[in-house]
Structure 1
Amino acid sequence: MERVIVARFQGSTHHESVVLWARQEATRRGLALQVVHDALPEGLDDAKLVVTGARDPDGVIFPACPVVLVPEVPAPQLSARPGAEIVLGVDAREPAQAAVDFAFDTARVRGVRLRAVHAWRFPSCTAELPFGVPQEDRAAWENHEVQLLADALRPWREKHSDVHVLEDVGLLPPARALSRRSASAGLVVVGRSSQRGPGPTLRALLTEALCPVAVVPA
């Protein structure tokens, strides 16, 4: 059965951006495009990707394939970033393999850089420090996080040697770290481990993201 990209829209206020993004991605990947209104078709066994609006993520029944949520921006703005990097949100301690695969493959298809963003936080014990975190301790923890990310990505970097990867480690909440990078990105990619709807991190990201967000199931 031929694989397709499904563009799903509701109403008429946002459909141009959704369909435009889906059409461009279908062209890049050499796949057919199927446009549906409101309800997604049953099964979706032949769907490579579902593209829909980001306004109401609760209204999306997340299928077994990746879902791209397109923000409400003018349609031309979505195609005004030629060569824009792909941003991957990755937990260096437990990388979501399907999301990492998807991000590397998308960067390869587009011929662009992949930025792997790992957000970290101070250990809980630092809350009890009376004078804050010493600079040398912060540097040591950050170096450890940098090494964790490098180790986590090594198998993919070896497999996709043609993809240029920038490792980006920051002391920020995950949604904030990703939304900051979305301003100059072509796509943000995150993983999803649950069959339920979007969690608080994804909700926050969708509120702030300035480019489409791909949610990839485990």
Structure 2
Amino acid sequence: MRNPVVVGVAASSQSSLEAVDWASDEAWLRDAPLRLVHAWFGEAAHAPAGQETRLSKDAGAGLLEAARDRALARRPGLAVATELVNDHPRQALAAAAADALLVVLGTRGSGGFPRLLLGSTSLQTAAHAACPVVVVRPCEAGTGTGGKAGTGGGVLVGVRGRGRDDEVLAYAFDTARRRGLPLHAVHAWAYPLVTGPDHDLPLVYEETDIADEHERLLAEVLAGRRAEYPEVTVTTTAVRSNAARELVAGSQSHQLVVVGRHGEPHGPLGRLGSTSQAVVQHAGCPVVVVPA
């Protein structure tokens, strides 16, 4: 059986509906089945004592049926399955990710800040899932769906340039090809923090030379994928800046941002890493976090 595109269906919210729409389009573009997952365990329900479980389960079944109808109305003929899980959302999504092409989530749990994701199931899933995770928020650059470019931008991808970009670039180029979008690759760099012996100040660098070196590095990293996907229009930026700042700024004029998950399992931010976490929290369009 083909691996599915999995979408988490939460209690009725705009972000959950947008996630269903995005996942339906992605499944259609990839000729993959769509699996709608709702975890109902622990959902609050205003019900007489003893009936909470039944009503929570029934409400979840209703959400899944409505989401299925929405997906089929958007993409008639799409293979759609539903899964009502007696578990907490994080555990249910982790299990669903084991055999998924990708997991798609909305931004439920914003903590009262409509453009900021705080400690949500989406963040946890992006940090730990075995497959790419898409966090969907309203796309300001264009439609972002249906395989056609919107009124602005395309796919924006962050490039580290240190040998850990293969999975990220493969996803970004493939998505740009499937959706008929241009690709813009951003590589942010900083001066190395090195001091010489018996020196209290950093060594002096020639910014032009270092900038040229990073331009060459970016070109080398992209060369193989450009040859593999000649139909994708590629532009690049190598800039002395903070990677998260550049990607968040670029998200305002693109339809999708692709970042790698480069954090350490026991680091302060977990596997998500500081750059990908900042982009997921602050981007102005959907973000894909790819395990690297």
The TM-score by the shorter chain falls in which range? 0.7 to 0.9
User: Does the alignment pair 1:3 with 2:3?
Assistant: yes
What is the CA distance between 1:185 and its match in structure 2?
1.1
The gaps in structure 2 that reach 5 residues or longer are: 39-88, 108-116
Distance 1:199 1:129 in 2: 27
**Which residue does 2:60 correspond to in 1?**
none
Paired amino acid for 1:96: D
Distance 2:140 2:241 in 1: 27
Contact 1:2 1:46 in 2 (8 A): no
Q: 2:136 aligns with which of 70, 95, 107?
A: 70
Higher strand share: 1
Give the direction of change, closer, same or farther, for the CA distance of 1:41–1:155 in structure 2 (3 Å limit): closer
Look up the SS of the partner of 2:191 in the other structure: coil
Contact 1:93 1:148 in 2 (8 A): no
Paired amino acid for 2:177: R
Contact 2:140 2:255 in 1 (8 A): no
Q: 2:279 aligns with which of 195, 205, 217?
A: 205
Count of residues in Structure 1 that have an aligned counterpart in Structure 2? 211
User: Does the alignment pair 1:80 with 2:149?
Assistant: no
Q: Which moved more, 1:49-58 or 1:179-188?
A: 49-58
The gaps in structure 1 that reach 5 residues or longer are: none
User: Does the alignment pair 1:120 with 2:189?
Assistant: yes
Contact 1:5 1:26 in 2 (8 A): yes
Q: 2:103 aligns with which of 44, 50, 58?
A: 50
Q: How does 1:184-199 map to 2 (within 5 A)?
A: 184-193=253-262, 194=264, 196-199=270-273
Q: TM-score, normalised by structure 1?
A: 0.85
Cα RMSD after superposing both structures: 2.6
Give the direction of change, closer, same or farther, for the CA distance of 1:78–1:4 in structure 2 (3 Å limit): farther
- Of structures 1 and 2, the one scoring higher in RCO (CA 8 A, sep 6+) is 1
Give the direction of change, closer, same or farther, for the CA distance of 1:78–1:123 in structure 2 (3 Å limit): closer
Look up the SS of the partner of 1:202 in the other structure: helix
Give the direction of change, closer, same or farther, for the CA distance of 1:65–1:50 in structure 2 (3 Å limit): same
Contact 1:113 1:164 in 2 (8 A): yes
